[in-house]
């Protein structure tokens, strides 16, 4: 999770933009918009969510690996955590 005020502001701005995109998609669906613009909007939302996930994951990586491991067990636990995160998000 981004902890600095700048990172937090950036992430919240992304979330608000995604919310706006989702609301626009909802309006388009309610209005019976054609498929092509709806699909384009869905793809834009997916891209925005992927960008958000990337930014939060990057902050987590910096936080997790920015400090030296205190032991080999700690190092292995960190690696296992990140491997699990990457596997779950890259599905």
Domains and CATH numbers, the chain: 5-89 (1.20.58.1000)
Structure tokens at 80: 């296992």
Integer Cα distance of 20 and 13 in angstroms: 11
How confident is the model over 7-53, as pLDDT tens digits? 889 999 999 999 999 999 999 999 999 999 999 999 999 999 999 98
How confident is the model over 52-63, as pLDDT tens digits? 988 888 888 888
Burial of 4 (0-12, 13-18, 19+ CB in 10 A): exposed
Integer Cα distance of 8 and 91 in angstroms: 26
């Amino acid at each position: 999770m981004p902890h600095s005020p700048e990172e937090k502001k950036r992430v919240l701005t992304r979330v608000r933009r995604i919310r706006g995109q989702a609301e626009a998609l909802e309006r388009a669906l309610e209005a019976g918009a054609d498929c092509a613009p709806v699909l384009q909007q869905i793809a834009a939302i997916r891209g925005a969510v992927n960008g958000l996930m990337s930014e939060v994951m990057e902050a987590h990586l910096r936080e997790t690996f920015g400090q030296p491991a205190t032991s080999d067990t700690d190092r292995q636990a960190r690696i296992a955590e990140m491997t699990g995160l990457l596997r779950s998000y890259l599905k």
